[in-house]
Homo-oligomer: A and B are copies of this chain.
Amino acid sequence: MAPEAEPAGAPTSSSQRLKGTPPRRNGPPRTERRTGEGPPPGTIALEAVSPVVDDGDHPARRLVGETVRISVDVLKPGADLLDASFTLRGPGEAGGSEQFLRSVGNARWEGEFIPRLPGLYHFTLSAWTDRYQTWIAGISTWMDAGEEVSQDLAPGLEILRAVLPQLSGKDRTEAESVLAALEGGDLVKAVRRAGADPLRELVRRFQPRPDRIDSSKEYPVRVERVRAGFAAWYEAFPRSLGASPERSATFREAEERLPEVAAMGFDVLYLPPIHPIGMTARRGRDNRAPAAPGDPGSPWAIGSSEGGHQAIHPDLGTLEDFDHFRRRAEELGLEIALDLAFQCSPDHPWVREHPEWFYHRPDGSIRYAENPPKRYRDIYPLDFGNPQWRELWTELSQVVRFWADQGVRIFRVDNPHTKPFPFWEEMIGEAQRAYPDLIFLAEAFTRPKIMRHLAKLGFSESYTYFTWRNEANELREYFLELYAPPLREFFRPMLFVNTPDILPPVLQRLGRPAFQVRAILAATLSPLWGVYSGYEFLEGDAIPGTEEYRDSEKYRIVHRDPSTPGNLRPLLTRLNRIRRENRALQPGASIGFFPVDQPRLLGYHRSSPDGKNHLLVIANVLPESTVESMVDVPLEALGLPEGAAYRVRDLLTDEVYSWTGRRNYVRLDPAFRVAHVLRVEA
């Protein structure tokens, strides 16, 4: 019998319930009988906490300076008014500070904070009955209906009396005066004063919360510095940054090339391994075995008699040279990222000093890497589960610590998906506790669920399948997934357009316009994008039928002439400038795909969190021929009324077009342009 038997909102409670009692924790229902000692269990439930990853098993990920919105459903039977708060504990803090949440309807409560420091934050949630507001609302309704309310004053008096000792000065005087008026004055006026600020807000803060419930756990949020979520990477082999393909450049020589990279607007210069390279089974030019004399070998075959993961290849110079190089880069606004490739050449010092860290055959020999039926004789994988694993793990953490002590703050991690999950948990956790500004990029080209799990465990950002998503619908589907929950809470996609291992077929096949459009897509689809050097010179020569570069730089020294005519440096430079100048391409911006008549085009808008900066990108994603199409501009996402007239400026060319309403026309002829990046200037 639904409507009529509903009891009153907040009937008078016994004063005993005002006394502070241990708050209840939200959690699984208790179906066993509770004892009658103390007050009854609280009746409020908390649900649907956000942000949260796997119910709090892993931290949500945010950036310094970003607004972190916290929200929760607060449920209580009946019609009482509620209040709620979150308590935030910053990195290394023992206690937390409480902030009120605000009700946003449909039982949802929200609040936010803006972290100023990187580190691991934790929040808890609490909710309780706002007994004072409930009382004011109820008694006001009775009075409005002309009812006698002298029997309904008690709860309000009781709460005011409880709050009084917390107040001082003017606030206390006002509270005392309201109390007196309630006890014998103009009730209508007294109740109105009782519900007015600042008294109302003070009571909100200080009133007893006998039925308070706390969330069953602390929810973690890992905050990283902005560069973990917004950066343009440039990958270059330092040995190639010299004047000649005949010998390795030194760091001192490579330093001369830093201004060119900085001038293109990149933020991070990522160096493949800079350590001594093994001689045993060294791979020669074009991955031929054996290597010819003078072949420099692959930088990923780490370790020789000259040292291992904490040494610098003598051809590059000394630690001091590296330090000089790093400092010069930083002067130019470029951070250096090093490669963490936890594997060894047969000549690595660890092989001699710690043979127990490797896999063994029954005859005692060390196993090289193998992927039946292939064998990689120049690489010994580390056995992360060997009986002396503790020493190994500690040593690997020490490698990170060593380079961090040298001033390196960014690491690109080679093949994390072939090492144990707990190792990364521990290593990244420890490293970020010591250096909260460390950033780790996971190169986990593996099954999607493993890729995601590594992100959950601590990697700041992750390579993606971008290079293999070429058609408009593939790109749309993939980025909708990346930008939606649950991924958007913990997975930061890094879009490299190429890598030393991946020369995508679309670049091989379509050449220049493909290089152009893939750079535009990467730079505008994610706040994190990257280029492996050579891209700007349209290097597209592959071993046929593969994604491998022909005569790959992995096995030789390459000399590139920065003055090559027609190179893409101007485009890359412009893209990086556009990214810096438009919040719509920075962390927190939203994405939406809009309809285009021609399925060979991809259309999406990017919008800044404050809704003030909107870009429309329309790309001929497989630029084989000219495409003309009408596109359907998503006016509502741009905050434009139906039929609006507005200007769009192509940030790639500075051309300005006058558009009207939804349907507009584009023409993308690869000989002239492969995409529009249009800023809406309403």
Contact B58 A28 (CB under 8 A): yes
Contact B78 A418 (CB under 8 A): yes
Whether a CB of chain B sits under 8 angstroms from the CB of A352 is: no
Whether a CB of chain B sits under 8 angstroms from the CB of A596 is: no
Contact B107 A449 (CB under 8 A): yes
Contact B33 A373 (CB under 8 A): no
Identity of the chain B residue whose Cβ is nearest the Cβ of A391 in the assembled complex: B36
Whether a CB of chain B sits under 8 angstroms from the CB of A563 is: no
A1 and B414 contact, Cβ closer than 8 Å, known pairs A36-B389, A385-B13: yes
Give the interface centre of A5, A144, A360, A371 by most chain B CB atoms within 10 Å.
A5
Whether a CB of chain B sits under 8 angstroms from the CB of A47 is: yes
A429 and B32 contact, Cβ closer than 8 Å, known pairs A54-B47, A77-B421, A385-B13: yes
A417 and B500 contact, Cβ closer than 8 Å, known pairs A381-B8, A554-B1: no
- Which A370-386 residues have a C-beta within 8 angstroms of B? 370-373, 376, 379, 381, 383-386
How near does chain B come to A120, taking the closest CB pair, in angstroms?
8
Whether a CB of chain B sits under 8 angstroms from the CB of A560 is: no
A445 to B393, CA, bound (A): 58
Whether a CB of chain B sits under 8 angstroms from the CB of A477 is: no
Inside 8 A of A567's CB, which chain B residues have their CB? none
Inside 8 A of A33's CB, which chain B residues have their CB? 394, 426, 430
Contact B7 A381 (CB under 8 A): yes
Whether a CB of chain B sits under 8 angstroms from the CB of A564 is: no
SS class, residues of chain A in contact with chain B: loop
Identity of the chain B residue whose Cβ is nearest the Cβ of A36 in the assembled complex: B390
Inside 8 A of A363's CB, which chain B residues have their CB? 151
Identity of the chain B residue whose Cβ is nearest the Cβ of A142 in the assembled complex: B372
Identity of the chain B residue whose Cβ is nearest the Cβ of A457 in the assembled complex: B29
A367 and B29 contact, Cβ closer than 8 Å, known pairs A1-B501, A77-B418, A142-B373: no
Contact B385 A415 (CB under 8 A): no
Q: Which of B40, B142, B272, B417 contacts A389 (CB 8 A)?
A: B40
Contact B11 A383 (CB under 8 A): yes
* Contact size range, A: 35 or more
Contact B41 A373 (CB under 8 A): no
Inside 8 A of A43's CB, which chain B residues have their CB? 384-385, 420-422
Q: Which of B7, B361, B372, B433 contacts A138 (CB 8 A)?
A: B372
Whether a CB of chain B sits under 8 angstroms from the CB of A611 is: no
- Which A468-524 residues have a C-beta within 8 angstroms of B? 499-502
Q: Interface readout for A143-157 with B: 1 if CB under 8 Å, 0 if not?
A: 011010001111000
Whether a CB of chain B sits under 8 angstroms from the CB of A610 is: no
A447 to B415, CA, bound (A): 50
A145 and B30 contact, Cβ closer than 8 Å, known pairs A154-B362, A417-B78: no
A456 to B421, CA, bound (A): 34
Q: Which of B30, B389, B418 contacts A7 (CB 8 A)?
A: B418
Inside 8 A of A39's CB, which chain B residues have their CB? 385, 387, 389
A429 to B39, CA, bound (A): 21
Q: Interface readout for A592-606 with B: 1 if CB under 8 Å, 0 if not?
A: 000000000000000
A sample of 12 more A-B contacts (CB under 8 A), given A13-B383, A30-B429, A77-B419, is A1-B341, A1-B554, A4-B376, A5-B300, A5-B369, A5-B414, A5-B418, A7-B343, A17-B385, A29-B422, A142-B372, A145-B372
Q: List 10 A-B contacts (CB under 8 A).
A: A2-B445, A3-B445, A6-B371, A8-B372, A12-B361, A29-B457, A55-B55, A75-B449, A77-B421, A77-B446
Closest A-B pairs by Cβ, 10 of them: A31-B429, A36-B390, A7-B381, A145-B373, A141-B372, A43-B420, A11-B359, A55-B55, A29-B425, A41-B422
